[in-house]
Amino acid sequence: MNELSTSRLDVLVVGAGPGGAVASHTLASRGFSVVCLEQGDWVNPGDMPGTKPEFELLTRGQWSVWPNERQGRADYPLNVDDADADPIMFNGVGGGSVFYGAHWMRLLPSDFRVRSVDGICDDWPIGYEDLAPYYDQVDRFIGVSGLGGDPAYPEHDYPLPPHPIGPGGIQMAQGMNKLGWHWWPGANAIPSTAFKNMGQCVRWGLCERGCPVGAKASFDLAYWPHATAAGAKLVTGARVARITVDRQGLANGAVWIDVEGRERRIEANAVVLAGNGIGTPRILLMSDDQHPDGLANSSGLVGKNLMLHPVNSVLGTYEEELAAWYGPAGQLIYSLEFADTDASRGFLRGAKWALMPPLGVLHVLDHLQEHSFDARWGRHVHELASYTGRSMIWSGVIDDLPAESNTVSLDRAATDSSGLPGAKLDYRRDENADRMVDFMNARMVEAHEAAGATRTLTAPLTESGHLLGTARMGDDPATSVVDAWGRAHDVPNLFIVDGSVMVTGGSVNPTATIAAMSLRTATHVAETARDQRVPA
Amino acid sequence: MTRPSTLTREQVARIRAAAAVLLPGHAESPAADVLPDYDELVQVAAAAVGEGRALPAAIEALPDEPTWESLSTLADADPASFEQVSLVAVGAYFMSPAVLASLGLPTGERRPADREQVVDELSTGILDAVYERGCPVRTLDDVNGATR
């Protein structure tokens, strides 16, 4: 839409990723007037690189998952000079889910209670039971494919049957059984049968590079069409410069910049932020008209405790034909064997493993990247490439403990296309994570060997797009930014519905949790609207 | 397919010469420089990674008559240029339908799963061991017990 009503809205949502999509749909469905401002644009699945022969090269340039490499109009600069990680991010309708692998995992019960069970970090103000009904609702809404009954979780089921685990999944499952290690058929937000507006997965196997046929529950497809049908208005190319606040300290809208560079104003009775763990603190810190240290920041914790989930991975090659070109990718199987604390391992918390097919020949060859020239080129390229269809990759989501020294701040030296400050990350992986990476790499080699791998190659650590912790929830306004409902302690009509509210990162992919928490917060906003203080 | 780049014939020839060393062929896989469509694939690969200013400069950094030793020296001395050129050289090679076929890799097919496949896979009893082992992490009751 191009024109906005000049009358005051019920709710302004900022950011059209998973959190913003769920909140917009939930509130619009209940009759609230909702506008969502999104700095990026829609992505047509048909434009995704996956159907093109050069797709692997396109994903290293204009379709890169890294904003600094992609340098799209909607991307803002990310200064990672002082960071151990260069996180994945996508600015557009659907947000990071456009490029996610759709591994659809719930946090474990212990993830909410790390202080109580492990004596470190803080407990969340909510627990697994509080979120379980919302996990269920979102699963049903987007059509998650999976098999219920995993003994690692409290009982729950999925609306769609699981995908085949394929020859590679079977081979690895047999290896895991030999070792006595947990595994389970993958839970994926990828429809195993046609669901609503999404077709059945056709197993291109490139989910993490964007599904070229729209058969993945990225939130531009799985939620936004329903949100707009319910009456939510989505404005793309709309970059929020700051949230505005009235004299009573209530949020009353935002100043935003359109694609022509014009500064515009929108008014609302409540504001919901969904910019995720880097975008949300960036906007709060830019909202410094009346708050020099940023909006909702009396605790000083806006932008602190950044968690990024390092990802380790080990590729195994096999003599058996594994048909590794079959998706989804997606996870064929997952393992929670090492997802929880066992102090004898030398670190606290753990990692969820996902078994995935490679995303292409170049992806396989990336595993030679740190080899010497003589061990990388010539026959070595040909030999490893010949295993592309006979290889599988274990990758681990390394739980990343919160540390106040890991931060997002404004980088005024580098601006986006609207002249707004970029974001600077100060992030160091801690010793606990480093020990965990070493442990997981070694166990993944064992798993491949038990499954019959002829060779294993450990990849350099990579980054995830899991942007967490920078506006954490809690009961105490001195030690948290939002309360248990996602409401800012300092601004009672400002809510946050993205990964920034997570107190600890957990050892699983976070999108299911972000979506469930957004649904819980938005439902609460709707149910308590009568009592909500609004600007005069 | 991405619109081909505008690399000159000489620039493409320099990449092909480097590819002949890096990708000399093996078993069923042909050498890069004998692929009949390799030059066209290089143009597409160059456009896909984005030509910019860096790629022509990286091509210029290649030795005139590349050998294993001279490319190894370049990889050490100017890794950025080497990585850029080698990405185009390798990317173009693995776009070739003949090369992908030699690896047994299909191209561009929709492959929806038969609904019975997963049933067949999981009805073999392969999950029995997982059920027998039980929960590998602390359960909700464990956690609530620790919290109380």
Nearest to B75 among A58, A161, A373 (CB): A373
> Whole-angstrom Cα distance, residue A447 to residue A113?
29
pLDDT band per the 50, 70, 90 thresholds, residue A2: very low
Q: Per residue in A298-350, pLDDT tens?
A: 999 999 999 999 999 999 999 999 999 998 999 999 999 999 999 999 999 99
> Whole-angstrom Cα distance, residue A101 to residue A215?
12
What percentage of chain B carries pLDDT values higher than 70? Answer: 96
C-alpha A169: how far from chain center: 24
Residue B108 has pLDDT above 90, yes or no: no
Close Cβ partners of A268 (under 8 Å, ≥ 6 residues apart): A8, A9, A10, A11, A12, A35, A251, A252, A253, A254
Close Cβ partners of A11 (under 8 Å, ≥ 6 residues apart): A23, A27, A32, A33, A34, A35, A268, A269, A270, A271, A272, A525
Q: Which positions 73-102 of A are in contact with B (Cβ < 8 Å)?
A: none
Residue A128 has pLDDT above 70, yes or no: yes
Nearest to B146 among A117, A170, A326 (CB): A117
Chain B residues in contact with A183 (beta carbon < 8 A): 130
DSSP structure string for A315-379: EEE-SS---TT----S-SEEE-TTSS--GGGSSSS-EEEEEE--SSHHHHHGGGTTS-HHHHSTH
Close Cβ partners of A456 (under 8 Å, ≥ 6 residues apart): A314, A315, A316, A317, A444, A445, A448, A449
Q: Per the CB < 8 Å rule, is A382 touching B147?
A: no
Q: Parallel, antiparallel, or unpaired for β A251-257 and A263-273? A: antiparallel
Contact of A412 with chain B, judged by CB distance below 8 Å, is answered with no
- What is the structure's pLDDT at A193? 97
pLDDT average, residue stretch B57-80: 97
Q: Per residue in A198-243, pLDDT tens?
A: 999 999 988 988 898 899 999 999 999 999 999 999 999 999 999 9
- What is the structure's pLDDT at B37? 96
Nearest to A161 among B23, B28, B118 (CB): B118
Domains in chain A and their CATH numbers? 9-531 (3.50.50.60)
C-alpha A354: how far from chain center: 15
pLDDT band per the 50, 70, 90 thresholds, residue A1: very low
Residue A88 has pLDDT above 50, yes or no: yes
Task: Mean pLDDT check: name the lowest of A1-5, A80-84, A509-513.
Answer: A1-5
| Sole residue written with tokens 């920034």 | A500
> A396 and A331 in contact (C-beta within 8 Å)?
no
> Whole-angstrom Cα distance, residue B95 to residue B102?
12
> A477 and A490 in contact (C-beta within 8 Å)?
yes
pLDDT average, residue stretch A517-530: 97
**Which residue of chain A has the CA closest to B46?**
A57
CB pairs under 8 A between A and B: 191
Residue type, A274: A
**Which residue of chain B has the CA closest to A151?**
B135
> A470 and A278 in contact (C-beta within 8 Å)?
yes
Which SS3 state, helix, strand or coil, does residue A475 take? coil
Task: Mean pLDDT check: name the lowest of A204-208, A295-299, A419-423, A469-473.
Answer: A204-208
Chain B residues in contact with A363 (beta carbon < 8 A): none
**Which residue of chain B has the CA closest to A336?**
B136
- What is the structure's pLDDT at B86? 97
C-alpha A384: how far from chain center: 31
Residue type, A271: V
pLDDT average, residue stretch A71-79: 94
Q: Per residue in A355-382, pLDDT tens?
A: 999 999 999 999 999 999 999 999 999 9
Chain B residues in contact with A113 (beta carbon < 8 A): 143, 146-147
- What is the structure's pLDDT at B140? 96
pLDDT band per the 50, 70, 90 thresholds, residue B2: confident
- What is the structure's pLDDT at B87? 96
Average pLDDT, chain A: 96
Q: Is A126 exposed, middle or buried (0-12, 13-18, 19+ CB in 10 A)?
A: middle
How far away is chain A from the Cα of B10, in angstroms, using its nearest Cα? 22
The answer to whether the Cα torsion of A481, A397, A42, A29 is positive or negative is: negative
Q: Which element (helix H / strand E) includes A393?
A: strand A391-398
- What is the structure's pLDDT at A463? 82
Outline where DSSP puts E strands in B3-128. none
- What is the structure's pLDDT at B3? 75
Q: Parallel, antiparallel, or unpaired for β A9-14 and A391-398? A: unpaired
- What is the structure's pLDDT at A4? 67
Which SS3 state, helix, strand or coil, does residue A219 take? helix
How far away is chain B from the Cα of A529, in angstroms, using its nearest Cα? 32
Nearest to A242 by CA among A207, A206, A203, A281: A281
> Whole-angstrom Cα distance, residue A218 to residue A100?
8
Q: Per the CB < 8 Å rule, is B130 touching A183?
A: yes
Average pLDDT, chain B: 93
Residue A400 has pLDDT above 80, yes or no: yes
> B1 and B44 in contact (C-beta within 8 Å)?
yes
Residue B53 has pLDDT above 90, yes or no: no
- What is the structure's pLDDT at A288? 85
Q: Per residue in A158-191, pLDDT tens?
A: 999 999 999 999 999 999 999 999 999 999 999 9
Nearest to A297 by CA among A517, A155, A23, A496: A496
Q: Per the CB < 8 Å rule, is B121 touching A116?
A: no
